Structure 1
Amino acid sequence: MKRKGYLIKGVIVLLSVLFLVGLPLQNSWGKEKEINLNLATWGPPTGAIAQGIQWYADEVVKRTGHRVKIKIFWAQSLAKQMELPHACRTGTADMVAMLPVYHPELFPFMAANMECLILWGGEIGQGIKPYRKLREEFPEVRGEFEKQNQRLLAFWEYARMDVISKKPIKGLADAQGVKMRSAGMVLSKIFKAAGFIPVTMPSTEAYDAASGGVVDALLASPETTYKFKWYEVCKYWTRTGILGSIVAYGISINLNVWNKLPTDVQEVMDRVGSELTDRYPTLLFEENKRYEKIFRDAGVKFYELPLADQEAWRKKVARSSFEDYVKKMEKTGYPNARKILQRYGELLGYKPWEYSE
C-alpha cells in the first residue's frame, strides 16, 4: 500500500513539473520579462527613412507579442549625428539608425560605397543584392560592425545624389567657383574636380549654411531635401546622372545588449531587419515621387546634366578615387582591400580601375 501511495505521489509531482514547464511554452512572450530598448537617430520623425525606422520598431514589438519595446529618440535627442556609432559602441544607445558611410575609419567596406564606388550611377534598389553578396563572400565585410561592438540588423540605400542650388547649374560650366555643401573627403574631391568649391558639413547644418550664404549649393537627395526643407532656400535642382544610389544607412545594436537577448528575440530582430532592407526601395521610390511634386509646387526647377559633362566628370575622378581608397585601406590593415573592392565593383557592374584620366 505504501509503495502504491509513493507511486501515486510521484506521478502527481511529475505531472505538476511537466505542467509548469509546459506553461511558458504556451505563451512564451507573455510570461517573460519585458525588454526595453532605446534607438537613437539623427533625423526628425518625417520622411521615408523615419517611416522605415518606425516600421522596424513597430514590427519587432508586434512580432514579439509586445514583449520587446523600442523607444526611438529622434532628431539627435540622444546623440549627435556624427556621434551615433560611438553611442552604440559604448552602450549610450542600445540601438542606432545612422549613416555608416560617414565613418570610413570605422566601417571602411560600407563606406566604400561613398568613398570610391559612388560614381557607378545605379538606381534605387540596385545596390542591395551586390552588398548582400559581398557580405556573404568576405568575412572582413561581415565583421566590420562587430569590430565596433555592434551587429548590423538592417541596411538601405541613399537615393541618387544630385545638386540643389540657389542659381541654375545646367552644366559643368555653371559649377565653376560655386561653394557647395559636401560630405567626406572623397565626395569633396569629386565635386572639386567638377569646379565646385566643396565645404564639408553634416546635413543637419546645411539649411542654415545655404540661407546664410556660407554655401550656394547642396549635395542633395530627395529625402534629405524634404526632411530638412532645403527646397525653401534652393530653387534649382541639377540631376548629376553619375552619383548613384548607394547602400548608406543602417540600423545596428550594441553587441553586449544583443548577446543578452533571448534567441527567439534575436531571430525576430534579424528577420524584420532583412524585410526592411527588401521593402525600403519601394517605399523610397514612392516617397521620392511625392517629394518631387512638393518641390515643384514650391517653385523648384529641374535640369539634367548633359551626358558629355557626366562622362567628362567621371573620367576626372573615377580611377583616382578608387586607387586612393584602396591604398588607404591597405595601409590601415586590410591587405585584401583591392580584391574585395574590385569584387564589389564587379557586382555593381562598375569598374573604376579601368578608367583613364
Structure 2
Amino acid sequence: MYRLTGLLLGVAMAFPITAHSQETIELTVASSHPLAIPWVGMIKSHFMAETDRILAEKGNYKIAWNEAFGGSLYKANATLTSVQEGVTDIGWVFSFLEGAKLPLSQASTYTPFATANPPVQLQVTWDLLDSNEAFKKEWEQYNLRVLGLTGTDSYDIYTKKPIKGLSDLNGMKLSAPGVLGSWLRGTGANAVDGSLPTFYTDIQTGVSDGVLSLALGVLPAKLYEVAPYITRVRIGTAFSGAIAINGDSWDGLPEEVQQAMIQAGKFYTDAHGKDLLERHEAAFAKMVELGAGQNPPVTISELPAGDRQKWVDNLPDIAGEWAAEAEARGLPSKAFLKAYMDGLRAKGEKPARDWDKAL
C-alpha cells in the first residue's frame, strides 16, 4: 500500500500534471438599436453565441461579453465613430447614415427595385468586400474590421392615411433612414430623415405622415399602431451595415479568437439573410393580427402595378448621380456599381431598372 503510494508520488513528481488554464477576454458589444430589432437580436443569438460555441470546442479562451444594446452607449448617428474610437470593441455600424464616410457602401441604396432577395444581396456584397480593394479600404481606413453584414427585407410604405395610388404620396412627409430618402424622388413625397428608434414618435407628433420602411423593423417597433395603412410597393432590399470590431481590439486578440469571430460572422450573415427572406411575409400577417383591434385597424393594399412601374420610371438617375459624385472624389464608383449589378444578375436577379446601363 505505502509502496504503491510512494511509487505514484514519485511518478507525479517526475511528470507533474499541468492544469489547463482558460483565458477570459473581456469585450464590449453594442448597438444603437435594441435587441428587439431582428438583426440586432441576432448579434447576440448568432454571432456571439456562435463565437462562444467555437471557442468552447478547444477551451483555451472564453469571452466575457459586456452588452450595451439599445443605444445605452451611443445613438444611431454615432455607430461608426463609436467603434472606430473604441467606445465599444464590437458594434453594429449603420452604413445608411454614413454616406459621406462610406460612399461605396451606398451602392445598393441608390439602386432601388434591383432585388428583393436578401441572401443574394448580402452574398454579392460579401464577394465585393473580398475582391474589391477600394470597398475593403473604405471600412478599414476607419480602424474597422468587418465581421458580418446586415441587410434589409424589402421596403414598403406605412402611413396614417390610406394610399390608393402613387398620386396620393404627393405632398406627404415620409420618414426614411438617411440616403433611402432618395427613393422618394419623383413621387412628390418629402423625405424626413430618421431611423427606427425615432419613427414612432415622429409619426405620433406629426413630424411625418408615415414611413418608408421594412416589415421586420416595423413589427417590433410597433409602427403599425401609428401608421396602420400598409401599401406594398416591394421597392427592394439594401445593404444596411456591418458588425465591426475596433482595429486595435482586433489586433489584440489571439488568432484562435479572431478565426472564431470570422466564422461566426459568416454564420451570422447567412442566418440573417435567410431570416429576412423567411419572416418578411409572416411579419405582415402578424401586424394585421396585432392591429385588428385598434382604430383604425391595420390594413394592407398593393400599389397598382402601373403605379409601381411609374415610380420606377419617374425616379431620376440617382445611381448615376451618386456614381458621378463619388468619381469626382477619386473613387471607382462606376466600376463598383457595375460589379454590384452584374453580381445580382449573375445570381439570377432581374432588376426592374438596370441602373448601370446609363453610366
Same fold at TM > 0.5: yes
Q: Decide whether the 8 Å contact of 1:104 with 1:112 is kept in 2.
A: no
- Structure-1 separation of matches of 2:288 and 2:120: 26
Note if 1:264 corresponds to 2:259.
Answer: no
Unaligned runs of 5+ in 2: 1-10, 292-296, 346-350
| Residue matched to 1:306 | 304
For the residue of structure 1 that corresponds to 2:267, the secondary structure is helix
| Counterpart check, 1:244 vs 2:230 | no
Task: Note if 1:81 corresponds to 2:76.
Answer: yes
Query: Which among 183, 187, 195 is matched to residue 188 of structure 2?
Result: 195
The within-5 A match list for 1:39-118 is 39-55=29-45, 56-65=47-56, 67-114=62-109, 116-118=110-112
Partner amino acid, structure 2, of 1:152: V
Distance in 2 (alpha carbons) for counterparts of 1:102 and 1:290: 28
TM-score by length of 1: 0.86
In structure 2, the CA distance between the partners of 1:199 and 1:342, relative to structure 1 (3 Å rule), is same
Letter in 2 for 1:288: H
- Confirm or deny that 1:329 pairs with 2:326: yes
Q: Is the 8 A contact 1:180 1:218 kept in 2?
A: yes
Task: Quote the Cα distance in structure 2 between the aligned partners of 1:51 and 1:218.
Answer: 22
**Structure 2 CA distance for aligned equivalents of residues 282 and 133 of structure 1:** 17
Q: Quote the offset at 1:50 in angstroms.
A: 3.1
Query: Which ranges of structure 1 fall in alignment gaps of 5 or more residues?
Result: 1-11
Seen in structure 2, the aligned counterparts of structure 1 residues 354 and 148 have a Cα distance that, compared at 3 Å, is same
Q: How does 1:315-354 map to 2 (within 5 A)?
A: 315-317=313-315, 320-334=317-331, 336-349=332-345, 350=351, 351-354=354-357
Alignment of 1:154 with 2:148, yes or no, is yes
Cα offset, 1:355, TM superposition = 5.9
The answer on 1:227 being equivalent to 2:217 is: no
In structure 1, what is the Cα distance between the partners aligned to 2:37 and 2:274? 14
Instruction: Give the counterpart of 2:174 among 169, 175, 180.
Output: 180
1:84-106, Cα deviation, whole Å (9 max, x unpaired): 11010001110101321321222
Deviations 1:239-284 (CA, angstroms, capped at 9, x unpaired): 112x211221310000000001000100000001001111112223
RMSD: 2.2
Give the AA of the match of 1:250.
A
Q: Distance in 1 between matches of 2:237 and 2:307?
A: 19
Q: Distance in 1 between matches of 2:242 and 2:221?
A: 20
1:40·1:84 contact (CA, 8 Å) conserved in 2? Answer: no
Partner Cα separation in structure 1 for residue 251 and residue 184 of structure 2: 43
- Kept after mapping to 2: 8 A contact 1:161/1:219: yes
1:126 paired residue number:
120
Counterpart among 131, 137, 145 of residue 131 in structure 2: 137
In structure 2, which of residues 18, 23, 34 is the aligned counterpart of residue 33 of structure 1? 23
Alignment check: 8 A CA contact 1:101 1:113 kept: no
* Contact 1:164/1:236, CA 8 A, preserved across alignment: yes
Residue in 1 that maps onto 2:4: none
Give the direction of change, closer, same or farther, for the CA distance of 1:46–1:189 in structure 2 (3 Å limit).
Answer: closer
Counterpart CA distance in 2 for 1:149 and 1:78 is 19
What do the CA deviations read for 1:173-215 (whole angstroms, capped 9, x no partner)?
1111111112224x32331311112211222211111111221
State the alpha-carbon separation in 1 of the partners of residues 327 and 225 from structure 2. Answer: 43
Distance 1:204 1:101 in 2: 14
After TM superposition, the structure 1 stretch with the greater mean CA deviation from structure 2, 145-154 or 173-182, is 173-182
1:213 aligns with 2:206: yes
Of the structure 1 ranges 90-99 and 121-130, higher mean CA displacement relative to structure 2 is found in 121-130
Given that 2:38 and 2:217 are in contact with CA atoms closer than 8 Å, whether structure 1 keeps it comes out as: no
Tell me if the contact between 2:37 and 2:221 (Cα under 8 Å) persists in the aligned partners: no
Which amino acid counterpart does residue 114 of structure 2 have in structure 1? W
Aligned residue for 1:49, secondary structure, equals helix
Distance 1:140 1:239, change over 3 A: same
- The letter for the 1-side match of 2:279 is E
- Identity of matched residues, %: 22
Secondary structure at 1:127's aligned position in 2? helix
**1:60 to 1:153, Cα distance in 2 relative to 1, 3 A:** same
**Alignment correspondent of 2:348:** none
Counterpart amino acid of residue 28 in structure 2: N
* Deviates further, 129-138 or 218-227: 129-138
Q: Which moved more, 1:154-163 or 1:285-294?
A: 285-294
Q: State the one-letter code of the partner of 1:59.
A: E
Quote the Cα distance in structure 1 between the aligned partners of 2:28 and 2:164. 45
On the 8 A contact 2:116/2:153 being kept in 1, the answer is no
Q: Distance in 1 between matches of 2:115 and 2:100?
A: 24
Q: Spell out structure 1 runs of 4+ moving beyond 4 A.
A: none
